[in-house]
């Protein structure tokens, strides 16, 4: 089984490469929506940076700390961006939810899928995945409650602890636990979508139950498959940030543009890599239950009993003829 898990890791990457048209379509849609969404954000950022000394830290290069401080400004924080940017983000989210069925069907078949077949699969599973999304939101409620409880405990520790680092380490530990729970939850629902497409399941509760048994019955292999690709995604994205901050000169605007797009493309590719590897692992390890055998008694031809032929009358004497 370990060899199968390893082959699913590299086989998923090969599957994304062979069906890379899906990746380029998603990247193109993301690029177009992002282009239209920045029109409402750029004026707000300009109004803040034109009167801030911190602007030089972004003009002369990319400073992650300065960018974080910029997003905390009340005029351009993520919670106060223009409605157009939020609307385009929502459109991209709905688009990804819609095409997930087509993506998984493409990876399941590993064959050339026409545009009509792709969108037919996307439409067939869209409302099923909407129901899965509702279940996912319900499952996030306990994690949100746990986060609120941890915040209260962290505040109490900060007020009573002698060392200031006690609260910091507590918040780090809580963050790791919550991140782990979110990854497990995401993996479970990923496998539910894979199962739904592979078995053409219409009832999402059945898909969730089957994915629960499959995920936690093979938790070590599946989670490592999911987590290892996440590590590759973060390392590649972090390397792009390092190039942007320390290698690119401040005047390399074109280079910064292409580097940022390459980072986004890498992030999308690794997410598709996770979905393709999950699909490949499911096909290689999941065997549907055989239907119960039914007993059919043997039948024999019914032969009617044969009656003996009636005896012939005795011949008449010759003198009576």
pLDDT tens by residue, 213-223: 999 999 999 99
Give the tokens for residue 73: 């400004």
pLDDT tens by residue, 294-307: 445 445 455 555 55
Give the tokens for residue 75: 């005029």
pLDDT at 118: 92
Do 95 and 29 touch, CB atoms closer than 8 A? yes
String of DSSP letters for 112-180: ---HHHHHHHHHHHHHHHHHHHHHHHHHHHHHHHHHHHHHHHHHHHHHH-SSHHHHHHHHHHHHHHHHH
Q: Return the minimum-mean-pLDDT range out of 109-123, 127-141, 259-273.
A: 109-123
Average pLDDT over residues 203-208: 92
Give the tokens for residue 177: 């636990």
pLDDT tens by residue, 155-177: 888 888 777 788 888 899 999 99
CA–CA separation, 78 vs 37, rounded Å? 13
- Residue 190 in this model has a pLDDT that exceeds 80: yes
Collect all residues with Cβ–Cβ distance below 8 Å to 89 and sequence separation of at least 6. Answer: 33, 37
- Residue 8 in this model has a pLDDT that exceeds 80: yes
Do 170 and 149 touch, CB atoms closer than 8 A? no
Query: With bands split at pLDDT 50, 70 and 90, how would you rate the model's confidence at 262?
Result: very high
- Residue 92 in this model has a pLDDT that exceeds 60: yes
Tell me which residue has tokens 């002369």. 60
Cα angle 145, 151, 152; round to 5: 95
Query: With bands split at pLDDT 50, 70 and 90, how would you rate the model's confidence at 34?
Result: confident
Query: With bands split at pLDDT 50, 70 and 90, how would you rate the model's confidence at 107?
Result: very high
pLDDT at 166: 83
CA–CA separation, 180 vs 194, rounded Å? 21
Which stretches within 248-321 are classed as H helix?
253-285
Strand, helix or coil at 41? coil
Model pTM?
Answer: 0.78
CA–CA separation, 121 vs 96, rounded Å? 13
Do 227 and 183 touch, CB atoms closer than 8 A? yes
Long-range contacts of 105-113 (CB under 8 A, 24+ apart): 105/197, 106/19, 106/22, 107/15, 107/19, 107/275, 107/276, 107/279, 107/280, 108/197, 108/198, 108/279, 108/283, 110/15, 110/18, 110/19
Give the tokens for residue 238: 């972090």
Domain ranges of the chain: 2-40+82-286
Q: What share of the chain is helix, strand, coil (3-state, %, to 5)?
A: 75, 0, 25
CA–CA separation, 277 vs 258, rounded Å? 28
pLDDT tens by residue, 50-84: 555 555 556 555 666 666 666 666 555 554 556 76
Do 234 and 266 touch, CB atoms closer than 8 A? no
């Amino acid at each position: 089984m370990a060899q199968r898990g390893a082959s699913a890791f590299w086989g998923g990457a090969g599957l994304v490469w062979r069906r890379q048209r899906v990746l380029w379509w998603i990247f193109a849609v993301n690029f177009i929506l992002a282009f239209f969404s920045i029109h409402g954000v750029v004026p707000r950022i300009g109004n803040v940076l034109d009167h801030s000394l911190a602007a030089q830290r972004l003009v002369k290069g990319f400073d992650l700390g300065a960018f974080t401080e910029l997003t905390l400004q009340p005029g351009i924080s993520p919670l106060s961006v223009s409605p157009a940017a939020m609307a385009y983000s929502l459109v991209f989210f709905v688009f990804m939810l819609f095409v997930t069925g087509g993506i998984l069907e493409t990876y399941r078949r590993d064959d050339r899928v026409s545009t009509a077949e792709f969108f037919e699969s996307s439409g067939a599973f869209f409302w099923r995945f909407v129901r899965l999304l509702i279940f996912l939101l319900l499952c996030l409620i306990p994690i949100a409650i746990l986060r609120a409880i941890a915040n209260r405990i962290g505040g109490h520790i900060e007020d009573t602890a002698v060392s200031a680092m006690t609260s910091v380490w507590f918040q780090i530990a809580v963050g790791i636990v919550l991140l782990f729970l979110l990854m497990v939850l995401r993996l479970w629902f990923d496998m539910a979508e894979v199962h739904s497409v592979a078995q053409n399941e219409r009832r999402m509760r059945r898909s969730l139950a089957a994915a629960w048994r499959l995920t936690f019955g093979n938790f070590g292999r599946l989670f490592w498959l999911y987590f290892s690709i996440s590590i590759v995604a973060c390392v590649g994205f972090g390397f792009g940030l390092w190039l942007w901050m320390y290698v690119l000169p401040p005047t390399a605007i074109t280079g910064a543009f292409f580097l940022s797009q390459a980072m986004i493309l890498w992030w999308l590719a690794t997410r598709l890599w996770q979905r393709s590897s999950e699909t490949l692992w499911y096909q290689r390890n999941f065997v549907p239950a055989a239907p119960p055998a039914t007993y059919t008694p043997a039948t024999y031809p019914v032969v009617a009993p044969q009656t003996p032929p009636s005896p012939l009358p005795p011949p008449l004497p010759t003198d009576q003829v």
